Structure 1
């Protein structure tokens, strides 16, 4: 898919994309005669797909329409079923939770462009914005989505471990300790899968680039549901906390800084806001239990994204050092496991 450059859609772009763009424009009453009327703006920060803003002039010269074009990354079928993800996307739209699906073509889709700004890494540390994210996440977890409501985490980890082993050389298998991760996953499932834990529809990838905010209304929208599934809500909280150590808009986006991982006060505040948004004041015991559970689930989260990094490093051509990212996630797993589970 060749629409990477900032400017016009090149003639090499697939006819299916051009036709869907023209169809969307026509449906909105805009008559596009030439592909040169479509302007392309690459959006940075995506690590599974390539994402572009596409603009074109309306019948009124001073106005422009905007859509978002998502080009699917290579090898994504190893991570999730695209048809399932599309069904989730459409269901989320019906729930009023995200952008509308405007069109599909073999290598991607066209989405409604949300007139809100994507958050930055710094925004996640803003106490006021953090409270809004916590409340939105609670709302997300309470969604009643179609299909089985079984926890997907453990099955997905085992499947991804199998994929990672197939891609890696014997040296990499040894360096990444892949031969012992099956036992580690078993231990985590036994230690973490407790009866008291709440299961909800989880985003599973709540980094700042997947959170948008309307500057006027302060309404939060969560986007990109590729990894969404039913899981323990503590796991989703853990994922979000881990993402606070990342900034994907630096010269070294693959590097994580665990020095800035949220401290106890920050995590306590987020979980209080999360529980309080349901309308009841949580007890200290409730907050503490969910905080403990979430912290333990960072272990599963590090394995999840470590395996994702290995697989992505072998199948995805996006400019991102996936393997170094994987090394950091695994390193954090081995460092934190004795502290969280004991030896």
Structure 2
């Protein structure tokens, strides 16, 4: 539903943002924006920021200009450095990836509005769309971004664990076993780094709402780079597979349904297309190894987003049950840990391990 501006402007739209919008309009060749003619449409599904579509008529009045305004969520500085994220955003734009940055203000930024459709939860299971995502993901991982090419995952998880302990009540600290997670993170780093891992520039948040498709060209665009860093590529595949259990536009957006986690053939298909996307012909063993690695990295994904959920429950005001979301992610970690990390498991054994149901284990 479109919101006429007056209430929104008085309540949320700062003078600074009005000035930025006027500057953006001028840069785009439009007339000065009539704030009474501005339409603001909230876009659902974001869980870190609040995102809005802003529309206004252009000079001739027959064309509507659209931009995306992102209002930064509360407490995001605990998850990542905003300046790093903006630098990544600008670099991605130069690479022809994602929207252009049009303007910045203290509480957020204005971005180019991409005229493409944001995917739905169902789209991730569509074979054609999934294949397009696999090809795009390989391209994304091969981007050369500035800065060191070091794995960030483990340091970030330790930092988040420290923040979660600082914020949590004694009850939540006990419920989520936060005092024992140092050992789990150390163990995972050792277990998952023990064999060769290809490192690439990973998106790290491959939920359907961060993937867009142009219906005419069938091109895929990955958006929202808050968490993007160098990491093992298997971690990104694991993240994408885990996100298939979510539907953030349902009546219960925090509830995860692991019966929708992709089956073995679906994961193998994705991995084969991913490895084949540059004209390569991967062997069955290479495909199986990538699927195996991705399955193991689901454990790191569960801890990562579990910690994110705990912290968000204390600092973010978005209407989302972060704590219950965290409980489900930790639950999956403890349910699957033994099967996925058994030292006697071969890659063939690992990829056959399926996600359990939602029986409570914490």
Task: Calculate the TM-score normalised by the size of structure 1.
Answer: 0.97
Alignment partner, residue 10 of structure 1: 9
Structure 1 equivalent of residue 242 of structure 2 = 242
**Matching residue of 1:37:** 37
Structural mapping, 1:33-72, within 5 Å:
34-72=34-72
Distance in 2 of aligned mates of 1:340 and 1:271: 18
5 Å-filtered alignment, 1:271-310, equals 271-310=271-310
Aligned twin of 2:128: 128
Equivalent residue of 1:11, what SS? helix
Counterpart mapping for 1:148-227 below 5 A: 148-227=148-227
- In 2, Cα distance between equivalents of 1:230 and 1:286: 21
**Structure 2: how far apart are the matches of 1:59 and 1:169?**
55
State the Cα distance separating 1:5 from its structure 2 match: 7.5
1:315 is aligned to: 315
Aligned counterparts, 1:249-288, within 5 A = 249-288=249-288
State the shift of 1:171 in Å.
1.2
* CA drift at 1:229: 0.2
Structure 1 unaligned runs (5+)? none
Query: For residues 89-109 of structure 1, what are the alpha-carbon distances to aligned partners after superposition, in whole Å with 9 as ceiling and x for unaligned?
Result: 000000001100000000000
| Secondary structure of 1:96's aligned partner | coil
Where in structure 1 do 4 or more consecutive aligned residues deviate above 6 Å? none
Query: Given the superposition, is the C-alpha separation of residues 78 and 33 from structure 1 closer, same or farther in structure 2, using an over 3 Å criterion?
Result: closer
CA shift for structure 1 position 195? 4.2
User: Which residue of structure 2 lines up, in the alignment, with residue 21 of structure 1?
Assistant: 21
Q: Map Cα deviations across residues 258-284 of structure 1 (whole Å, 9 max, x no partner).
A: 011000010000000100002111100
Q: Distance in 1 between matches of 2:3 and 2:273?
A: 41
Question: Cα RMSD over matched residues?
Answer: 1.2
| In structure 2, C-alpha distance between the alignment counterparts of 1:164 and 1:42, rounded to whole Å | 30
Match of 2:360 in 1: none
Using the alignment, how far apart are the partners of 2:39 and 2:323 within structure 1? 34
CA distance in 1, matches of 2:330, 2:273: 30
- The residue number in structure 1 matching 2:346 is none
CA distance in 2, matches of 1:251, 1:122: 16
Per the alignment, residue 331 of structure 2 pairs with: 331
Q: Find the counterpart in structure 2 of residue 104 from structure 1.
A: 104
Q: Quote the residue 1:138 is aligned against.
A: 138
Superposition TM-score, scaled by structure 2 size? 0.92
